[in-house]
Structure 1
Amino acid sequence: MSNVLITGGAGFVGSNLADRLVAQGDKVTIVDDLSMGLVENIPDSDLVTFYEESITNKEFMEHLLVKNKFDYIYLFAGVASVADSVARPYETHQVNQEANVFLLEVIRKRKLPVKKILFASSAAVYGDDPQLPKTELSRIKPLTPYAIDKFASERYMIDYGNLYDLPTVAVRFFNIFGPKQNPSSPYSGVISIITDCIREGKTFNLYGDGEQVRDFVYIDDVIDALLLLTRSDKAAEAHGTYNIAAGKKTSVNDMIAAYEKITGKKLDINQEAARQGDIKYSYADISKLAGLGYKPVYNIETGLEKYWEYINK
């Protein structure tokens, strides 16, 4: 049994990871201020301890780390709304960067025996650089405070690993979809918003022509990747940064067409002007992760089928 900390564990990815860890018998501690996560996402299990707390509470976080001596730490907590980071750059910076650096500093100073620390970054760090597909060595061009903080935190993880011999790894998430994604969240994925519209007969606001290309990856594949990077024998070598995606490009229009076919329902679409700052094309090269044995199981159709099945359960 491993002892695991997930910050942001009531959120979409964190709670799906918690489900998997609990299923394999791990003890899981979740810290989440519920600003975006949902308490009902948290697994109902004696193996789970939940604290409704912000990771910016330094005294609380230091005490928690020192007391529990976690084997694995997954850092998912953050203000995920890009718009919010533009409106409140300093407040979101404290969550998205400062708090994570503080945790690294506690682990370093207290010499805590962590086996792996994984930080969740974002494909947003690539910005609108035209080179495709995005590799981990692609040009970094963060366009918002959110993306700047994600990239800076990545670098802190990697450099703390190199300078102080901490077992750190960072991942750049592309467009994840699946169960427990909150469609009312300001930064929810387009698929969860469309799912909500199809189910409730609501109109979907499509910004732009729908030819935007994304790399949609199903949540189960993401959890496989996270466990591969932290738990597998090859994880010892897994430092640096890894793209987590399906390695496939799908336009929003093609995704909608596939979803309409699966659900047997027509999506009511209201077309709006493209949003300023939206990136037109984004998809990943996943060969670095594939080199460790990662192979996505789901494509856009099979992922949508499983998600729709879950939604209607």
Structure 2
Amino acid sequence: MYKLKQMKGQKALVTGGLGFIGSNVAHRLVGLGAKVTVYDACLDPYGWNYANVREIREHVRVVKADTRDFDKLCAHVKGQDYVFNCAGQVSHLDSMKDPWLDLDINCKGNLNLLEAARRFNDQARIVYCGTRAQIGRAMYSPIDEAHPTNPVDIYGINKLAGEKYHLLYADVYGMPVTSLPLNNVFGERHQMKHCLYGILNWFIRLALEGRDITIYGSGKQLREYNYVQDVVDALVLAGQSRKAKGRFYSISTRKAMPFLEMARQVVKEVGRGRVVKAPWPRERKQIEVGNVVSSYRKAKRELGWEPRTSFEAGLEKTVAFYRERLPEYV
């Protein structure tokens, strides 16, 4: 079983640091003793929220800036020991409606970061938050790092390009870069304003408000749901491990479950709401990928990482968080 190293006095930059995954990374880094800079463009309708860093506000430096602003990135990459690259446009549907914006954020933003690091801090350990959408529909199961990539939407294509940029900079310039394609992450500090991404958290809001949870189609497609604190541990562990240089790791859970079962468990844990079914909307059906079952064997073998939190335990913690703080996230 893994153990994260203390980071007292070390400096870390977290792009997208006011968002869901980024803010949870910032909390963990502060707990490990790091000096943290939170870098976020604060763009709507994305998940940035100053409430996400309220408990650690005195221990982090917050910079309101965009990864598409190369000069600002250069200024803040200098002197960092770690860069956790969590910024991005993360909506599948929005990427199809505005592919130029997705390209701008998810490609140009990542190239800016890598070029800034190459020019001014090429030994900073960079960890990139990828996505399961880079794979597309599964050709075999469980999905591993050798699986072919054939994304079904603009978001998946541009996030895959982002990963390729990162690994190229590791290969060509020797920069210590690692990528972790993430999959259906849920937990504390996720936005609850809309359902463009983070569907499990959105279902929690619907249940807390006593509303219907709509499932398209049969709901039998298998999915994995990764609790955010386990994911944060994987990101930090990848940053701390010298073995991870130039590598990418699939991050997953111990078991998958039908989408319908996930929704029913949300209703059961919250004690309100109900699950209803509806036909697939055309725009969603076109980018539906079917069953998703992945392997974390490589991450366990090389990093020592494996998920510690069961779905039920993670769901209980998440629901408890939003029972107290839902108004801050809607």
Matched residue, 1:142: 151
Matched residue, 1:307: 318
Structure 2: distance between partners of 1:268 and 1:132 = 28
Matched residue, 2:262: 255
Structure 2: distance between partners of 1:300 and 1:106 = 38
Structure 2: distance between partners of 1:265 and 1:110 = 53
The runs of 5 or more residues in structure 2 that have no matched partner are 1-8, 325-330
Structure 1 counterpart of 2:296, which letter? I
| TM-score normalised by structure 1 residue count | 0.93
8 Å Cα contact 2:210-2:273 kept in structure 1: no
Alignment partner for residue 208 of structure 1, among 196, 214, 217? 217
8 Å Cα contact 1:175-1:245 kept in structure 2: no
The runs of 5 or more residues in structure 1 that have no matched partner are none
Matched residue, 1:279: 289
Shift of the 186–254 alpha-carbon distance from structure 1 to 2, 3 Å rule, reads: closer
Runs of 4+, deviation exceeding 4 Å:
none
Structure 2: distance between partners of 1:278 and 1:81 = 13
Alignment partner for residue 220 of structure 1, among 217, 223, 229? 229
Once the two structures are TM-superposed, the CA of residue 266 in structure 1 deviates from its matched residue by 4.6
Instruction: Determine if the alignment matches structure 1 residue 61 to structure 2 residue 73.
Output: yes
> Aligned with 1:46: secondary structure?
helix
Instruction: Determine if the alignment matches structure 1 residue 151 to structure 2 residue 160.
Output: yes
Alignment partner for residue 53 of structure 2, among 33, 42, 63? 42
| TM-score normalised by structure 2 residue count | 0.88
Q: Please list, as runs of the form range in 1=range in 2, the aligned pairs for 1:229-244 lying within 5 A after superposition.
A: 229-231=238-240, 235-238=241-244, 239-244=246-251
8 Å Cα contact 2:138-2:289 kept in structure 1: no
Structure 2: distance between partners of 1:46 and 1:263 = 33
Alignment partner for residue 13 of structure 1, among 3, 15, 21? 21
Q: Which moved more, 1:271-280 or 1:216-225?
A: 271-280
Alignment partner for residue 137 of structure 2, among 124, 128, 139? 128
Structure 2 counterpart of 1:222, which letter? V
Alignment partner for residue 182 of structure 1, among 166, 177, 191? 191
Instruction: Determine if the alignment matches structure 1 residue 294 to structure 2 residue 305.
Output: yes
Once the two structures are TM-superposed, the CA of residue 29 in structure 1 deviates from its matched residue by 0.8
Two-structure CA RMSD over aligned residues (Å) = 1.7
Matched residue, 1:198: 207
> Aligned with 2:113: secondary structure?
helix
8 Å Cα contact 1:259-1:301 kept in structure 2: no
Once the two structures are TM-superposed, the CA of residue 175 in structure 1 deviates from its matched residue by 0.9
Once the two structures are TM-superposed, the CA of residue 181 in structure 1 deviates from its matched residue by 1.1
Once the two structures are TM-superposed, the CA of residue 153 in structure 1 deviates from its matched residue by 1.3
